[in-house]
Structure 1
Amino acid sequence: MTRAPAQKITAWNDVWDSIANFQLPALLGWQDVAQRYRRSKVGAFWLTINMGVLIGALGLVFGTIFNSPMSEFLPFICVGLIVWGYYSQLVNEACTCFISSSDTMLQLPIPFFTYVLRTWWRNSIILAHNLVIFPIVLLIFGKFVNLYAFLAILGFLLASLNILWMMIVLAILCTRYRDLTQIIQNVMQVCLYLTPVMWEPSRLPDGTKSMLMLNLNPFYHLLSVVRDPLLGNPGTLITWCVVVAMAVVGWTLALVFLNRYRSRITYWL
């Protein structure tokens, strides 16, 4: 009697199984945060305090340099730094996502996307802590969000979809090519200055070059779909279209990539 061959696990099966059992990466991500601040009374809010000090310092400096009203500039840079820090941390940690979990990956048959979701959830918890700063800044200046703020939820979901497919690709590439991690970190540092995080897009001179500088920067669109609604602006149609198109194309690429190299990941660890 011959045994039927085992069914090959595809990239789609890997992703779907990870989402269906989301309680596992959620638990692991929560434990990562809890373990990091196990003996601290303030806990993850130390990151919030650090972020608040950074926002206040950079807001004062760049607001003075650009001669911008603090009531407008401080909420702008507040959301920008919080969301950018979230994106940047996810991209950087994606590079070592599989490598840091090599012991578990070599022993347990857990879907690979689970480790990506673990990283995403851990940083999302930290993002939730940091977002406490934004309403405080608004209250200081007597400002309030409007109904467009609900679009920020949709923007966050679309941005997360895009960041997740980037994380899959980077996790695989950086597991195979370890030096790529340093390159990605340097690229993200450069992107910080190319993306309107600490400077307003309206400060750019009118012209085709300025528009290309913004519209060809994917992180500008990922930042705008979250920041603009929170600041009372629905955002531009081109930004929403770019983010949706990036998600469709990116996930297609990521699934093909994961399907092709999934069987080799454990050999690269």
Structure 2
Amino acid sequence: MSTAPPRSDPRSWSRTAEDLAGGWGQRQLWGHLGWQDIKQRYRRSVLGPIWITISMAVTAIALGILYAGLFGNDLAVQLPYILVGFIVWGFISGCILEGADVFIANEGLIKHLPSPLSVHVYRLVWRQTLLFAHNMIVYLIMLVIFPQPLHWTVVYVVPAVALLMVNGVWVALLLGIITTRFRDLNPITQSIVQLMFFLTPIVWIYEDFLNSANPTIAERARLAELNPFLHFVEIVRRPLLGQDQQLRYWVVVLAITVIGWLVTLFVVRRYRSRVSYWV
């Protein structure tokens, strides 16, 4: 009498590793789907994805002019600061907002396509990376109009963006699983992201308040460093604007990366097998 080989526990660490590695191995699939997502969104548009860049550039220019006047800053300083901040924030907010909906939006594929859950997350982060690269066109144009004092430290952009992508994966995995189970968290996430945009130095220059002659303002400005998004934005923005690197930003980002992945792996191990039922 033959017996079927025992199946491994779906909550085991090996199954979790298989899901992440298996999804990464299907790069051709999620890479193609990521491209198609962008093409499909602007299929009948004449300018296509350029509309994303135009919209971001117009908003950044308008806010740059507004806040340069409000704070009395030179437009050549305020506008590049806001523009690069917008590009980075677009990637961060995209991973969070779309990550919260990643499994719900792919309900049909999850139920009918036998593929690792991580495929949908890799697809999302790849799509956001393409949009980030596309928006960098505006940055290159900005360099022509407002030249920045770039030097060799601009190469730090590469590991900084890589860290954004690595964090984007665990954020989308974690939020995707949690919001699939608790649907009310999706609108809450959207509200929090909108609030954090104003609390993060995207349109206001952090150093201006930090170096204020008023000690009370300078002291309060340091509270901004409790905002984790500040550190992620700064490790990318500073090299792109030719500013000196600050070790503390990298330390905080690396710490968040490690802790975030540890928590996410635990959640994925425990609840990965339930996602197909929750969607």
Show CA shifts across 1:100-154 (max 9, x none).
Answer: 1101100122111110111111121111111100121121123353211110111
In structure 1, the partner of 2:246 is 236
Contact 1:151–1:234, Cα closer than 8 Å, also in 2 = no
Equivalent position to 2:57, from 42, 52, 57:
52
In structure 1, the partner of 2:214 is none
In structure 2, the partner of 1:218 is 228
The yes-or-no answer on 1:251 pairing with 2:261 is: yes
Question: Where do residues 19-168 of structure 1 align in structure 2 (5 Å cutoff)?
Answer: 19-143=24-148, 145-168=150-173
Query: Residues of 2 paired with 1:117 and 1:63: CA distance?
Result: 38
Contact 2:95–2:171, Cα closer than 8 Å, also in 1 = no
The residue type paired with residue 43 of structure 1 is G
Query: Residues of 2 paired with 1:240 and 1:181: CA distance?
Result: 29
In structure 2, the partner of 1:266 is 276
SS at match of 1:206: helix
Contact 2:80–2:146, Cα closer than 8 Å, also in 1 = no
- Which structure 2 segments of 5+ residues have no match? 210-216
Query: Residues of 1 paired with 2:274 and 2:244: CA distance?
Result: 44
In structure 1, the partner of 2:21 is 16
Q: What's the CA shift for 1:215? A: 2.1
Cα RMSD over matched residues? 1.3
Contact 1:222–1:243, Cα closer than 8 Å, also in 2 = yes
Q: What percentage of residue pairs aligned between the two structures are identical?
A: 36
Query: Residues of 2 paired with 1:21 and 1:144: CA distance?
Result: 41
In structure 1, the partner of 2:218 is 206
Query: Residues of 1 paired with 2:156 and 2:142: CA distance?
Result: 20
Contact 1:138–1:144, Cα closer than 8 Å, also in 2 = no
Contact 2:148–2:241, Cα closer than 8 Å, also in 1 = no
The residue type paired with residue 227 of structure 1 is R
Contact 2:125–2:169, Cα closer than 8 Å, also in 1 = yes
Q: Tell me whether 1-10 or 86-95 shows the greater mean CA deviation.
A: 1-10
Show CA shifts across 1:85-113 (max 9, x none).
Answer: 22112210111100111011001221111
Q: What's the CA shift for 1:169? A: 0.7
The residue type paired with residue 61 of structure 1 is L
Aligned length: 267
Query: Residues of 2 paired with 1:245 and 1:142: CA distance?
Result: 34
In structure 1, the partner of 2:199 is 194
Q: Tell me whether 129-138 or 181-190 shows the greater mean CA deviation.
A: 129-138
Q: TM-score scaled to structure 2, two decimals?
A: 0.92
Q: What's the CA shift for 1:30? A: 0.6
Contact 1:11–1:256, Cα closer than 8 Å, also in 2 = no
Show CA shifts across 1:177-223 (max 9, x none).
Answer: 1110000000001100110000011232222x432x22211111111
Contact 2:68–2:74, Cα closer than 8 Å, also in 1 = yes
Query: Residues of 2 paired with 1:234 and 1:6: CA distance?
Result: 54
The residue type paired with residue 53 of structure 1 is V
Query: Residues of 1 paired with 2:176 and 2:191: CA distance?
Result: 16
Query: Residues of 2 paired with 1:52 and 1:161: CA distance?
Result: 26
Q: Tell me whether 71-80 or 138-147 shows the greater mean CA deviation.
A: 138-147
